[in-house]
Amino acid sequence: MKAAVLKSFGSPLAIEEAADPVLGTGEVIVDVIATRVLSYMNEVFSGARNYALDLPIIPGPGGIGRVRAIGPDATKLSVGDWVFCDPTVRSRDDAAAPDIALQGLTAPGAGAMRLQQHFRHGSFAEQMRVPTENVKRLGTIASEDATRWCALGTLLVPYGGFLAASLQPGETVLVSGATGNFGSAAVSVALAMGAACVVAPGRNDKILADLVRRFGDRVKPVKLSGNEDHDRESMKRAAPGPIDCVLDIMPPSVSTNVVRAAIMTVRPNGRVVLMGGVGMAGGAGLELPYPWIMRNCISIHGVWMYPPDAASRLIALVRAGLLRLEEYEATAFDLDHANEAVAHAAANGGPFKLTVIRP
């Protein structure tokens, strides 16, 4: 099969022939039709993000494809099924605290690296081998629609955060980082889950206005000034009532003051979900007042990715018409132009934009 291979950090992907994956028990072979290129893939490949990858490797976190072969433990899948390949691979021998690797992207920790050494290669290839439980049926789709279905990989991340927070229909949500790629996805997911209102703070007037244009007056934009106390009060005033849940999905480059201002808008007995990058690039960590957390009974959830059943549940939201993949503008490249796709993703990583490789 043809594949894009990362042989060393800082070098371009090599487009070459690789061995076809070999099916084992508990595994599925999928023909990759479309796969998302993350906006920061160039930083992963350069080594700047310091992601744990045992090279050489075929990168690519998940994707959309059709089942080529199934193992003896698959009872619902059939050859030819359209599927989403979930990149979040979990060890199977400790359900309470599994090791987790992101197939084709990173493996933090010794246990996760052992997973990567087996489920080694990702989706920048014509075929990939995936754990059976990570293959989620989509139902019938047209081949050209596979490109936009790649948005599932982005939408799933904030969806996992809202599931952890037990977001309920009719609640008011604040998305800290609403003008980013994952943050704008969080706005759409919260509304699809029935949020009555989403407070969307940010500094980019154009993107804030676009969120309102897309989703209507259930989105309450707030222009941030950079003053922590002022911004906190502005966000509270924008909400029609108490803020039930705050999701932080800010990137590593953002000041902790901005993150803290948003978190501390939540009501007493409210929930906070931390999914962002504070402290990941060095610098100060996030400081929150112990008395405020304790006296206001604030629940704080640290969430990385999402539970195993999240993809199937999110697919159901799309199929019901509650979550619109049509919001996404996609640009597709073939596998021979994988390096151009990585460069394009880095330059075009805004809200509701997708860069996709179609092997």
CA distance 292 to 212: 32
Confidence at residue 279, expressed as pLDDT on a 0 to 100 scale? 80
The reply to whether the predicted model has a pTM over 0.85 is yes
Confidence at residue 284, expressed as pLDDT on a 0 to 100 scale? 75
CA distance 236 to 183: 19
Confidence at residue 110, expressed as pLDDT on a 0 to 100 scale? 94
What is the dotted CATH code of the domain comprising 157-302? 3.40.50.720
Decide: 207 and 281 in contact? Cβ < 8 Å: no
Confidence at residue 253, expressed as pLDDT on a 0 to 100 scale? 82
Decide: 301 and 164 in contact? Cβ < 8 Å: yes
Structure tokens at 174: 């604040």
Pick the CATH number of 2-151+328-358 from 3.90.180.10, 3.40.50.150, 1.10.1660.10, 3.40.50.450: 3.90.180.10
DSSP per residue over 82-150, as a string? EEEE--EEE-SS-SSS--EEETTTB--SHHHHHHHHHS---SSBSEEEEEGGGEEE--S--GGGHHHHT
CA distance 61 to 116: 12
Neighbours of 178 (CB within 10 A): 31
Catalogue the E-assigned strands of 183-265. 197-202, 219-223, 243-248
Tens-binned pLDDT, residue by residue, of the chain (359 aa): 999 999 999 999 999 999 999 999 999 999 999 999 999 999 999 999 889 999 999 999 999 999 999 999 899 999 999 999 999 999 999 999 999 999 999 999 999 999 999 998 999 999 999 999 999 999 999 999 999 999 999 999 999 999 999 999 999 999 999 999 999 999 999 999 999 999 999 999 999 999 999 999 999 999 999 999 999 999 999 999 999 999 999 988 888 999 999 999 999 999 999 999 888 777 778 899 999 999 999 999 999 999 999 999 999 999 999 999 999 999 999 999 999 999 999 999 889 999 999 99
CA distance 158 to 164: 10
Pure H helices in 274-309? 290-295
Structure tokens at 120: 């080694």
Of 101, 117, 118, give the one whose Cα is nearest residue 55.
Answer: 117
Confidence at residue 280, expressed as pLDDT on a 0 to 100 scale? 75
Q: For residue 201, is the peptide bond before it cis, meaning its omega torsion is within 30 degrees of 0?
A: no
Of 13, 113, 104, 123, give the one whose Cα is nearest residue 63.
Answer: 123
CA distance 315 to 319: 6
**Domain boundaries defined on the chain:** 2-151+328-358, 157-302
Topology match between the domains 2-151+328-358 and 157-302 = no
Confidence at residue 252, expressed as pLDDT on a 0 to 100 scale? 85
**Which amino acid is present at 37?**
V
Sort 40 into a burial class: Cβ within 10 Å, 0-12 / 13-18 / 19+: middle
Decide: 176 and 152 in contact? Cβ < 8 Å: no
The phi, psi pair for 3, rounded to 5°, reads -150, 160
